[in-house]
Amino acid sequence: MKKRIAIFASGSGSNAQKIMELFKHSPEVEIALVLTNNPDAYVLQRADNFEIPSHIFDRKEFYQTDSIIDLLKNLDIDLIVLAGFLWLIPQNLIAEYPGRIINIHPAILPKFGGKGMYGDHVHKAVLAAGETEGGITIHYVNENYDEGEYIYQAKYKIDKDDNLEMVKFKGQQLEHQHYPRIVESILKKIKK
């Protein structure tokens, strides 16, 4: 019986693609659904390229109904992976999937986390603070932005000449290298 993943993303979905690539031919793992709050998100095209079904939802459906939970339960989802998903996860979803929702953040938490700290906002803050290292944090999701228990952190060096694009590139390299691997290791611990 395959373990099943649902990926939530709001934008391009490059991390989602790396996870799709890893499990494309897996006999043990299936990406069952990609969900987004953004009808223009490029992640929808990526999902389509891998023939993975997708679901677009709005704020009302996400926060005021149980329809997303019902959808995930009907698909027998084992793990929820956030890959550039920008909304706070509602309490009812966290309660339904305790310890089975993970996220990746483009900084070494607890620094540069919290509401509004995503994507370029994080990288700009890291540069503005004069940091000599950047990094990524993969963590479990709780009811607050970026406060769940850490699973894995990795760092890269920021050179004094690095601009926003370089910092972003270095961070994304680490994300693509580690996130699929960590997703796979967590799935191995989940009992079907």
- Binding site annotation covers 37? no
- The answer to whether 11 is a known ligand-binding residue is no
C-alpha–C-alpha distance, residues 20 and 17, integer Å: 5
Task: Kindly state the helix (H) or strand (E) to which residue 119 belongs, with its residue range.
Answer: helix 119-128
Q: Provide the token pair at 118.
A: 């995503």
74 is in an annotated binding site: no
Catalytic residue among 25, 55, 105, 123: 105
- 83's CB contacts (< 8 A; 6+ apart) are 7, 8, 9, 13, 15, 16, 19, 43, 104, 179
Q: Quote the tokens at residue 105.
A: 């953040």
Is the bond preceding residue 27 a cis peptide, omega within 30 degrees? no
Query: Has 38 been labeled as part of a binding site?
Result: no
105 carries an active-site annotation = yes
- Looking at residue 78, the DSSP 8-state letter turns out to be -
Active site residues: 105
Binding residues for (6R)-10-formyltetrahydrofolate: 103
Binding residues: 13-15, 103
